[in-house]
Structure 1
């Protein structure tokens, strides 16, 4: 049994860090849903897409998008 354990909100005090957490030049190209897409494939290549996503550590796949 754990005794004297405290689970709090766990937020970091960001004002103590000199580097900005969020840069001022955020744009949809650098910070948005399209920035997460690593691979774009045709729907007919769905099997290839599953293999890419299955081996995400080797293929650097965050999101695989299939289109018609």
Structure 2
């Protein structure tokens, strides 16, 4: 009976560890393929929309996006 509990517990720990590393690898690949928006990308998007962005406006939008991610 103790043997079954020990095997189950070890299997659970191995599954958690394996799941962590698989999820970590997946997220690293996802972030590499889809990087978060930076100031240069934001500037290009605003120029494509016909706006002439100032550095102050870029900083405000970056701060708004950062606040939105924190929530």
TM-score calculated relative to the size of structure 2: 0.33
Structure with higher Rg: it is: 2
- The structure in which a higher percent of residues are strand is 1
Higher RCO, 1 or 2 (CA under 8 Å, sep at least 6)? Answer: 1
- The structure in which a higher percent of residues are helix is 2
